[in-house]
Amino acid sequence: MKYEEIVHRCFRCGYCKLAGDYSDFNCPSYRKFRFETYAPGGRMWLIRAWLTEEIKDSEHFKEILFSCATCANCVQQCVFVFSEDLVNIFIAAREEMVNKGMIPPVVRDYLKNIYIYGNPYKEPVHERGKWADGTPLEAYDGQEYFFYIGCVGSYDERGRKVAKAVANLLVKCGVSFGILGAREICDGNEVRALGETGLFQFLAEQNIALFKEFGIKKIITLDPHALNVFKQNYPGLGGAFEIYHYSQVLAPLMQSSKIPLTEYQSRITYHDPCYLGRHNGEYEAPRRILESIPGVELIEMDQNRENAFCCGGGGGNFFTDILGGGEDSPNRIRVRQALDTRAQIIAVACPQCAKMLDDAVKGEGLEDTVEVLDVAEIVTRALA
């Protein structure tokens, strides 16, 4: 297994499962299950035991491995020099399990759907661009940017709303961009995170070839998960493009008052998506957008930026739902953290977070108290 030479080096001191100020446990799977085995240190020790055959393949071990949300809190908090590799180690172990055909059925189904249908929803490929129906968006044809939507923005009902809001805002700001609609291909971030390296490579190579065919140089992503894989993994496969999350393009435009906004009185707390924040270091752009709206009061949750608590949707859990259900599911914990700020709106900058937290608001019975909106949807409300 890749990183096999590292797994024995975990001391299991437990810093990996804490927030940086120690105010709480900050590992989503540990918060959900509460056995040490579901914390990063526990996973490290179990992976080693699995490699030395002290424990065997089991449904439970699969659940432990695939419950990691790849949120990278452990990468942030681990005190050892190999901290950067922690999530990669868990993905490498998943890869081993994929290669042995030892994966949970929900993971298998997700991967099969991507393989067969090109998306996790079993929807026809030609409907991928349907989210843009009724918008004046243009197909990509040499504009400055290509706007990449991803599976959630293309097919999920909540994701589609976010995609529309972002696209309309980019248009209003005069950004030159186009979309690929039905020709768009799954970015593969979750496929990679779930350990299906072969399928990931196939998707990445297809995407890279497609982007090159269209002469794409600069990409705006709706979804931080796509941002992550394009930035971190595609260059190694020959796909070096300029990659931006939509908030990074919009923030300077909003701050320069490119579009007029009316006052929007609201108390908002912002939830950092892991793949935008911890994985790619962007904490400020979405906040700058929110701060540019007159009347917005931005309040931080105790766990913010590098210490943000994951909604539990990363690492494929958005689709597999291994961390879902019950009051200790990460998305419900995160909503309760947001509620502590007495915010009326939980702002997100990721369609997966939007859906996860929306579900959690319902689970907590807080539909009348707090609303989950993407940053772009909030700006839309403030448009003059």
User: Can you give the binding site for other proteins, defined by CB under 8 A?
Assistant: 8-15, 17-19, 21-24, 33-37, 42, 45-46, 49, 54-56, 58, 60-61, 64, 79-82, 302
Contact 117, 123 (CB under 8 A): yes
- Per the DSSP assignment, residues forming a β-bridge with 346 are 269, 372
DSSP string, 210-239: HHHHTT--EEEESSHHHHHHHHHTSGGGT-
Say how many Å lie between the first and final Cα of the chain, rounded: 56
* C-alpha radius of gyration, the chain, whole number: 20
Q: What's the closest the beta carbon of residue 24 comes to other proteins, in angstroms?
A: 7
Q: What's the closest the beta carbon of residue 15 comes to other proteins, in angstroms?
A: 6
Say how far apart CA 295 and CA 285 lie, in whole Å: 18
Q: What's the closest the beta carbon of residue 240 comes to other proteins, in angstroms?
A: 33
DSSP H or E stretch at residue 267: strand 266-270
Nearer to other proteins, 19 or 348 (CB): 19
Tell the residue number behind the tokens 């976010």, with chain if given: 162
Tokens representing 159?
């994701």
Q: What's the closest the beta carbon of residue 54 comes to other proteins, in angstroms?
A: 6
Nearer to other proteins, 79 or 384 (CB): 79
Nearer to other proteins, 34 or 122 (CB): 34
Q: What's the closest the beta carbon of residue 134 comes to other proteins, in angstroms?
A: 45
Q: What's the closest the beta carbon of residue 353 comes to other proteins, in angstroms?
A: 25
Nearer to other proteins, 78 or 276 (CB): 78
Secondary structure (3-state) at 18: strand
Nearer to other proteins, 65 or 285 (CB): 65
Nearer to other proteins, 45 or 110 (CB): 45
Q: What's the closest the beta carbon of residue 23 comes to other proteins, in angstroms?
A: 4
Nearer to other proteins, 77 or 320 (CB): 77
Distance of CA 147 to the CA centre of its chain: 17
With a CB cutoff of 8 Å and minimum separation 6, the contacts of 233 are 189, 192, 200, 204
Distance of CA 247 to the CA centre of its chain: 14
Nearer to other proteins, 17 or 231 (CB): 17
Nearer to other proteins, 142 or 325 (CB): 325
Q: What's the closest the beta carbon of residue 355 comes to other proteins, in angstroms?
A: 24
What is the residue type of 294? P
H helices present in the chain, as ranges: 28-33, 40-51, 59-66, 73-77, 86-99, 105-117, 150-155, 157-172, 189-193, 197-213, 224-232, 246-255, 285-291, 317-320, 330-339, 351-363, 375-381
Q: What's the closest the beta carbon of residue 217 comes to other proteins, in angstroms?
A: 41
